[in-house]
Structure 1
Amino acid sequence: MHATGLAVPSDRPLDDLTAELTRMLGDPDPALRDGTAYPALTTWVERGVYDDLLSGLGDGMAMGLLVGLGERGTDTVFRRSFSALVLGECIARDNTRPLLPGGKILEWGDRLTTWLLRERDLRGWVRGNGWAHAVSHGADTLAILARSPHLATPELTVLLDVIADRLLLPVDRLFSNGEPDRLAFATMAVLRRNVVPLRVLEPWVARIAAGAGTRSTYDDRDPYLAGGNAEAFLRALYLQLSLGSRPPQLRSDLLLVVVDALKSTNHGYLVTTGE
């Protein structure tokens, strides 16, 4: 396919090609999954190949989010994670060229967020199999969803709550492959819509900060597992708010809120003591 510029092969029905590529999205071989299936499907969506079939393709990707859900350390994570990415491309196509009713986008959003909160395989890079990256891929699709004109203040507020919920869920390992940065990027996509007020954002940040300041008290458990993901997210959000392009209208006010949160969770590093 790459040799032909990812053109749609003319010797097979599109339905058969789509079924094969969808199966390959879950293949543990990164050359098939990440190197063939994902770029082919996303390129065809972007080129409008699926414009008349976009609803069905997105529904198929949403079903892929359920394959093996709840498992940890198995190959099913690839199907879920890469289905999320292709679902994001379907939403992005509708963002660019309205093709679907708002109800369908909201349905996909509900299925995406439900999956993201139930996902238990938090691996990033898997030796021999490449990227799993379920949380990052979910965050990338949240960012696309946040740009949909079908989402208004209530739905965007829900996306923020989902991000907070994901950060505060109990974990056995901290995010280590850029997931907090990707979740912060999704947050920025919500903020750039400029429709979520500060009175909503302040308690949202406070909730994450409260989690970031929590340490586990169990002797057999890393105490930083309780709040480490939330803390990393606050730092990533501060960085993107401070240095990112196209700042949201509330940037100045929200930066003060985030700075106060970081001061509360990093107090020991910010006070001057006698040395």
Structure 2
Amino acid sequence: MTDWEQVREGGFAVPEGRAVPELVAELVGMLRSPDPAVRDRQAYSTLATWVGRGVLSEQELRDLGDELVPRFGDPEIQARTFVPLILDVIVSAGVFEPRWVPPFERWYVGEQDLRGYDEKLGWLHAVAHGADLLGTFGQHPAVEPVQMLRLGIGRLLTPTSYVFRDMEDDRLGYALAATLTRAELTGSDAVDWLDPAVRVLSNPPTAGIAPEVTNTVRTLRVLYLFADHGLRIGDAKKLTPIPQREQLKARLAEVFATFTPYWL
């Protein structure tokens, strides 16, 4: 076994004496660990760094993605929620397979364990980790952006008992905003995906406000901020505007008015 903590402390240099595929296989196994130090601090950090540095070949990245995608159905929550993180760095490195998108969509809208941080398991963060991949897919030319926008609102409106507390609304709001920077989106494309939110929020609560309603409103407020000011994409120094910003802001204001008429 490799001393992965030593690898981390050494700046993630590839250990000598073992082939890269063998090392990656060990790290992939560690991504299922319930120990956050093993899973997050060592396995994820090492893999993400190596992918970013080009340690793995294009085919090795494709194989890694194919190996991880079935874990969207893993019985262990920590195994499921670290798949989108690795897929995100793979796609960001320039390797994309359309077959990865449907399993992600099914998992993201269907995941029931939305805990951000767990005292024993560490960071789980299904919504936030999934949002990162949603935003990356949403900017990819081979993915239909409206498809990702609908996925985002579907995730928000799915009934849950969990109220966001670990910046999930910021991460998903950013992912939606990044997707909305796609130049090919028409005015209707940029706003029609919000129709389900209008329908849900138009029904006054009779027994308290449902968590998914709170999560939706808070996330869309984040999106409004990005629409108003623009957002930073990647390492860009300048803010990128949302092309349909005025139509989006007007529609978001309508959404808020159905639920919080005093907000705007």
Normalising by structure 1, report the TM-score.
0.84
Q: Secondary structure at the match of 1:247?
A: coil
Counterpart residue type for residue 242 of structure 1: D
Mapping of residues 157-176 of structure 1, within 5 Å? 157-176=146-165
8 Å CA contact retained: 1:215, 1:224 = no
Per the alignment, residue 217 of structure 2 pairs with 231
Distance 1:207 1:24 in 2: 39
Tell me if 1:242 matches 2:236: no
Cα distance in 2 for partners of 1:246, 1:234 equals 18
Work out the CA distance in 2 between the residues paired with 1:226 and 1:36. 33
Partner AA of 2:178 in structure 1: A
Once the two structures are superposed, residues 133-180 of structure 1 have per-residue CA deviations (whole angstroms, 9 ceiling, x without a partner) of 0111000011111222322xxx21111111111111111122222222
CA distance in 2, matches of 1:182, 1:241: 15
Q: Deviations over 1:219-263 (max 9, x none)?
A: 5xx433352222112211112212332111111221122122212
Moved more, 53-62 or 204-213: 204-213
How has the CA–CA distance of structure 1 residues 49 and 178 changed in structure 2, closer, same or farther, with 3 Å as cutoff?
same
* Aligned-residue offset at 1:194: 1.8
Give 1:260's aligned residue: 254
Q: Could you tell me how far apart the structure 1 residues matched to 2:258 and 2:201 are?
A: 9
Change in 2 beyond 3 A, CA 1:27/1:224:
same
Match of 2:88 in 1: 88
Contact 2:73 2:80 in 1 (8 A): yes
Partner of 1:59: 66
Cross-structure match for 1:73: none
Match of residue 56 from structure 2:
50
Partner of 1:117: 109
User: Which one of 248, 251, 257 corresponds to residue 245 of structure 2?
Assistant: 251
**8 Å contact from structure 2 (residues 72, 83) kept in 1:** yes
**Matched residue type, 2:62:** S
Q: Which amino acid aligns with 1:260?
A: E
Equivalent residue of 1:141, what SS?
Answer: helix
Aligned AA for 1:8?
V
Q: 1:214 to 1:233 in 2, by over 3 A?
A: farther
The verdict on how the C-alpha distance between 1:213 and 1:28 changes in structure 2, with shifts beyond 3 A counting, is farther
- Say how many residue pairs are matched: 249
Distance 1:213 1:236 in 2: 20
**Cα separation, 2, equivalents of 1:226 and 1:107:** 29
SS in 1 for 2:74: coil
**What is the CA–CA distance in structure 2 between the aligned matches of 1:141 and 1:270, rounded to whole Å?**
31
**How do 1:22-61 residues align onto structure 2 when only pairs under 5 Å count?**
22-51=28-57, 52-61=59-68
Q: What is the one-letter code of the residue matched to 1:168?
A: L
Give the TM-score normalised by the residue count of structure 2: 0.87
Unmatched tracts of structure 2, length 5 or more:
1-6, 231-238
Report if the CA contact (8 A) 1:215-1:226 is conserved: no
Task: Note if contact 1:25-1:79 (Cα within 8 Å) is conserved in structure 2.
Answer: yes
Name the amino acid aligned to 1:142.
Answer: L
The amino acid of 1:9's aligned partner reads P
What is the percent sequence identity of the aligned residues?
Answer: 32
CA RMSD for the aligned pairs?
Answer: 1.9
